Amino acid sequence: MSTGVQRRALRTVTTLGFWVFMTLLTLIPIWWMFVVSMRSRVELFSRPNLAISRLFLENYSNVLTDSAFQRYMTNSIVVSTSNAVLVMALALLATYALSRYKLTGSDNIFFWLITNRMAPPAAFLLPLFIMFTRSFRIGDWTLFDTQLGLILLYCVFNLPFAIWLLKGVVDGIPIELDDAAMIDGAGLGGVLRHVVIPLAGPGLAVTGILSWVFAWNEYLFAANLTSVEARTITTGLAEFVTVTGTNWGELAAMSMITLIPSAIIVIVAQRYIVMGLTFGAVKE
Amino acid sequence: MRNPRTGWLLLSPTLIILIVFGFMPFLYVLVVGFFDWNVFAAEAGMRFNGLGNFRRLVFDDLFLTSVGLTIRFALFAIVSEVVLGFLLAQMLTRNFPGKSVFRIIHTFPLMIAPIAVGAIWRLLVIPGFGPVPFFLDRWFGLTYQIGTYPDQALATSVIMDVWHWTPFVTLTMLAGLSAMPREPVEQAKVDGASRLQVFWYVTLPFLRPVLLTTVFIRIMDAIRTVDEVWMLAGGGPGTRFTGIYIWRVTSPGASADWGYGSSISLITLYLTIVLCWLLFIAISGRRKGEVE
């Protein structure tokens, strides 16, 4: 009897110890970046230690008052938010169509959607660059280096996952509710506004949040399809590393700022991250 | 009552965006890959080149090396992630104090921008003030410098990827394990099966769909990896993966050989598709074998 209790206690302690260890492995790299962001150039090159000796905020204030950084930040927020809203709207219309109408070849459309998400983005950089600079041109204006270009382009990887995630949600809404609303004289807009959107609300929110993060995190397209005006925060991060010398403290400070949305999202949308990353193939 | 035309109308904005920004680039590389097109050459026009670009590609050592490196990177990283992720998920099926907090912290790296992950690890390994080279030298007398030793750079990329993506495997495995009924496991234990036998004959077959989905998604993502490894090592030796190679060759500033760049894109897309297809065959073939 007592051995059973002892064994269970031992097991709990081992599990706890293991998870404390795992948590340290996860957090120490991030903590080190925080330490670097709180140090001046001179302090950095002394013996590495993980403690923060004093409050040194110059890296943060330098970054935050820099006009280029402010532009990057604004661009990232505008692009991610517009993209998330656009993806939510288009994905809702698309899933409603796929769920309620008998469309020939809708299975193939589904498969094609997922291939858009799986293709290596590096392979499309060149054609997209040519399209952005040459094909989409009105007078002097091109899609290159515009927020609009990024907002539309990010739909390519966000729409597929959004549709896959929302399909399950919309399929779960009984079609009888639509019919009842229609008999009461509601048009398509009315059905969407009064039936589908309220019931699919949580799913839509998750879709929006995850689209926002994916757009916020994107680097490769932003780095190649913008030059000055529409550069985002991730490209700004990469620009810190230069041949002539890198200001590691400011790089760390900027990375810490980039992490904030991720931290919030992990806490708020924890349960849905897996669904979002596996196109709803794995649910929790 | 429901007119398909309305359905297509609702679907059309999505289709238009995906065709313009997803399918047209594909057509573009499909065509340009067979042309000689160098914008800064004396003759800047496109000239049909047949399979010339592909002939050049087969003998391009840098490209072949990058494919080999990418495969090694993906293999090491994914095997480690699956083993570690499964063990962690198994531990999360039991109750212990503080479980949800540990789980949230464990999930955290998943949502960090890849470029920031690269920055985090670069700060750890940078010669001069990074703690990793410092302590490796002090404790083990090991000279660690990813700019000089390709194997160390590859190993660091793998460890970084494991740090970043193991939580994904943990969460999918946990979802799979939570959906598993208790009875078969209990039954097997009653019949005297060892823990290893229970795992091999009961748990693993049940987890197979989730496991395959996870591995499939991980392979696709590992092949596409660019940002974090670029930020970590700046394309140094040992980390020139295919994604990075394509990016450097096709990036408008670096080279203007658009025809050759397109042919590389095309062959990479092709390799990706073949890999998906092989994986699919392996899955369905094994399943069929089991039913018989």
What pLDDT score was predicted for residue B138? 82
Q: Highest mean pLDDT: which of B50-64, B101-115, B195-209? A: B101-115
Of A30, A234, A274, the CB nearest to B171: A274
Q: Do B120 and A131 lie within an 8 Å CB cutoff?
A: no
- What are φ and ψ of residue A142, in 5° steps? -130, 170
Tell whether B265 lies on the interface with A, counting CB pairs under 8 A.
Answer: yes
Of all residues in chain B, the percent with pLDDT exceeding 90 is 11
Residues of B in contact with A187 (CB under 8 A): none
Taking alpha carbons only, the member of B221, B210, B259 closest to residue B110 is B221
pLDDT digits (tens, 9 = 90+) for A148-182: 889 999 998 888 888 888 887 888 888 888 888 88
What pLDDT score was predicted for residue B79? 92
Q: Report the gap between the CA of A111 and the closest CA in chain B (Å).
A: 13
Burial (Cβ within 10 Å: 0-12, 13-18, ≥19) of residue B86: buried
Regarding beta strands A141-142 and B35-36, do their DSSP bridges make them parallel or antiparallel, or are they unpaired?
Answer: unpaired
Tell whether B51 lies on the interface with A, counting CB pairs under 8 A.
Answer: no
Residue with the larger pLDDT of the pair B23 and A276:
B23
Residue A251, SS3 per DSSP: helix
Q: What structural domains does chain B harbor?
A: 34-287 (1.10.3720.10)
Averaged pLDDT score across all residues of chain A = 83
Give the nearest chain A residue to B210 (CA atoms). A282
Instruction: Indicate if the alpha-carbon torsion angle A267, A270, A272, A276 is positive or negative.
Output: positive
ipTM comes to: 0.86
Residues of A in contact with B220 (CB under 8 A): 118
Residues of B in contact with A160 (CB under 8 A): 18
The CATH architecture annotation of domain A62-277 reads: Orthogonal Bundle (1.10)
Rounded to an integer, what distance in angstroms lies between the CA atom of residue A52 and that of residue B183? Answer: 52
Q: Highest mean pLDDT: which of A83-87, A119-123, B87-91, B215-219? A: A83-87
Please give the DSSP secondary-structure letter assigned to residue B144: -
Residue B46 has pLDDT above 80, yes or no: no
**N- to C-terminal Cα separation, chain B:** 46
pLDDT digits (tens, 9 = 90+) for A28-63: 999 999 988 888 877 777 777 777 777 788 888 888
Of B13, B111, B130, the CB nearest to A213: B111
Residue A191 has pLDDT above 50, yes or no: yes
Give the nearest chain A residue to B250 (CA atoms). A126
Mean pLDDT of the region B78-82: 93
| pLDDT category of residue A207 using cuts at 50, 70 and 90 | confident
pLDDT digits (tens, 9 = 90+) for B193-232: 888 888 888 888 888 878 887 888 888 888 888 888 888 8
| pLDDT category of residue A272 using cuts at 50, 70 and 90 | confident
Place of tokens 């992630």: B81
Q: Does the predicted model carry a pTM greater than 0.80?
A: yes
